[in-house]
Amino acid sequence: DAKTTQPNSMESNEEEPVHLPCNHSTISGTDYIHWYRQLPSQGPEYVIHGLTSNVNNRMASLAIAEDRKSSTLILHRATLRDAAVYYCILTRNQFYFGTGTSLTVIP
Amino acid sequence: SAVISQKPSRDICQRGTSLTIQCQVDSQVTMMFWYRQQPGQSLTLIATANQGSEATYESGFVIDKFPISRPNLTFSTLTVSNMSPEDSSIYLCSVGQGAGYEQYFGPGTRLTVT
Q: Could you list the pLDDT tens digit for every one of the 114 residues in chain B? A: 889 999 999 999 999 999 999 999 999 998 899 999 998 899 999 999 988 888 999 999 999 999 999 999 999 999 999 999 999 999 999 998 888 889 999 999 999 999
Mean pLDDT of A30-35: 94
| pLDDT tops 90 at residue A22 | yes
Strand pairing partners for B25? B4
Contact A97 B103 (CB under 8 A): no
Classify residue A4 as exposed, middle or buried by CB count within 10 Å of its CB (0-12, 13-18, 19+): buried
Contact B48 A42 (CB under 8 A): no
Determine the Cα–Cα distance for residues A11 and A43; give it in Å rounded to an integer.
22
- Which SS3 state, helix, strand or coil, does residue B87 take? helix
- Residues of chain B with Cβ-Cβ distance to A94 below 8 Å are 33, 45, 48, 58
B9, B109 Cβ separation under 8 angstroms: yes
Q: Which of A43, A87, A91 sits opposite B92 (nearest CB)?
A: A43
B90: distance to nearest CA of chain A, Å? 10
**What radius of gyration do chain A's Cα atoms show?**
13
Contact B96 A36 (CB under 8 A): no
Contact B42 A99 (CB under 8 A): yes
Does residue A98 or residue B35 have the better pLDDT?
B35
Contact B45 A46 (CB under 8 A): no
pLDDT of A90 reads 92
B102: distance to nearest CA of chain A, Å? 6
pLDDT of B97 reads 84
Contact B102 A49 (CB under 8 A): yes
Does residue A28 or residue B11 have the better pLDDT?
B11
pLDDT of A93 reads 83
Cα nearest neighbour of B31 on chain A: A93
Q: pLDDT tens digit string along A38-87?
A: 998 899 999 999 999 999 999 999 999 999 999 999 999 999 999 999 99
- Determine the residue among A37, A59, A97, A99 to mutate to test chain B binding: the one whose Cβ has the most chain B Cβ atoms within 10 Å: A97
Mean pLDDT of A27-33: 91
Strand pairing partners for A64? A71
Pairing between β-strand A45-50 and β-strand A101-106 as defined by DSSP bridges:
unpaired
B66: distance to nearest CA of chain A, Å? 18
Q: Which of B96, B99, B106 sits opposite A43 (nearest CB)?
A: B106
pLDDT of B13 reads 97
Determine the Cα–Cα distance for residues A15 and B39; give it in Å rounded to an integer.
31
